[in-house]
Amino acid sequence: MSRANMDKNPEEVAAMFDGVAKRYDLVNDLLSLGQTKAWRKATTKIIAPKPGMKILDLAAGTGASSEPLAAAGAAVIAADFSEGMIAAGRKSRPQLTFTKADALNLPFADGQFDLVTISFGLRNTQHTERALAELLRVTKSGGHLVVCEFSSPTFAPFRTIYTNYLMGALPSIAKVTSSNPDAYIYLAESIRAWPNQEALAAKISGAGWRDVTWTNLTGGVVAVHKASKP
């Protein structure tokens, strides 16, 4: 399996990420033109991790998003459904706790976490609303959700340039840098088809979360949505 289709079959998506796991962090940094670390830092600031805080980092991949949360003293579970990603994460970040988890059927008890977060992974689930509902289920009352995901640039001329990059330059760069460039064609297609900031906020609210807000990063290329559980 070189790439998943847009129906986002879980087994196909997992196999696709298994295939890119070893160089995933490096290639992402290159394709984002060095913005990945800045996006992660901004998301960590919004999460505001602290000692004693229980956090689920879903679609954590190799643990790059979990690492700063654990460094702040939070108890973090780095969860992903790709065995390849988990293996790469355990090798590069052995201090973190990794577990395999399906976003649509999380292996955790109700109300277990103070905060749940997912970075660049909600887009890859087969059913967005079900994933959001599962995240709601495992969150404590009064807890929070933080979603970092690709979104829609707010400045129209830049949005056009960005779309051209996604569908043209990004796959071309991936051919040189990635072991599975076809996976990045899926990436580009999935980003282009993803809801904009307002539409994703509506999906989050529809899943039962409240007080949904978002912060645009890099002119809206990425948006970080935050919500709370009643």
Mean pLDDT of 121-146: 96
Instruction: Enumerate the domain spans of the chain.
Output: 10-228
Mean pLDDT of 137-155: 93
Given the structure tokens 């395999």, which residue do they identify?
100
| pLDDT tens profile 62-113 | 999 999 999 999 999 999 998 988 999 999 999 999 999 999 999 999 999 9
The DSSP code sequence of 93-159 is: -TTSEEEE-BTTB-SS-TT-EEEEEEES-GGGSS-HHHHHHHHHHTEEEEEEEEEEEE---SSHHHH
Tokens linked to 165: 């990059």
Q: Which one of 172-181, 185-194, 219-228 scores highest in mean pLDDT?
A: 219-228
Residue pair 171/142 in contact by the 8 Å Cβ criterion = no
Whose CA is closest to 85, among 27, 29, 21, 179? 21
pLDDT value at residue 171: 63
Q: Is the pLDDT of residue 182 over 70?
A: no
Exposure string for 177-203, b = 16+ CB within 10 A, e = fewer: ebebbbbbbbbbbbbeebeebeebbeb
Q: Is the pLDDT of residue 23 over 60?
A: no
Query: pTM of the full predicted structure?
Result: 0.82
pLDDT value at residue 39: 92
| pLDDT tens profile 154-179 | 877 767 776 666 666 666 655 655 55
Tokens linked to 148: 């970092």
**How is residue 65 annotated by DSSP?**
T
Write down the architecture of domain 10-228 according to CATH: 3-Layer(aba) Sandwich (3.40)
Whose CA is closest to 66, among 56, 53, 51? 56
> In 22-108, where do the E strands start and end?
54-58, 75-80, 97-100
